[in-house]
Amino acid sequence: MAEKTLFQRIMDGELPGDIVYEDEQCIVLRDINPQAPVHLLIIPRKPIPSLNEITEEDATLVGHLFVVARQMAEREGIARTGYRTVFNTGPDAQQSVYHLHLHLLGGRKFTWPPG
């Protein structure tokens, strides 16, 4: 059996996490190392290691993550001023937890290109 990820352990109640939203398909946590005044992680309950492993059957789930991101942006007061959503995939993109998660960042001006 594969070892549980940090996010799976939080979802299972084995570790604490600042959960701000949850539904049947995902949870939303505040990032422990925020890169913006608002930095949330939208995490599917289904353990998908990265964007490289999503399949056609995951299309509805991935779409749901973006709907939740929009809802959280509204709730956090950043929808009008703007925000960024990011999937980091693999070591070059600094993916640190191999459980798919969508970053929602806002509350400050961002530059382009990122990183």
Active site positions, annotated? 101
Contact present, 38 and 105 (Cβ < 8 Å): yes
**What is the spatial distance between Cα 25 and Cα 31, in angstroms, rounded to a whole number?**
19
- From the number of C-beta atoms within 10 Å of its C-beta (0-12, 13-18, 19+), residue 44 rates as buried
106: burial class by Cβ within 10 Å (0-12, 13-18, 19+)? buried
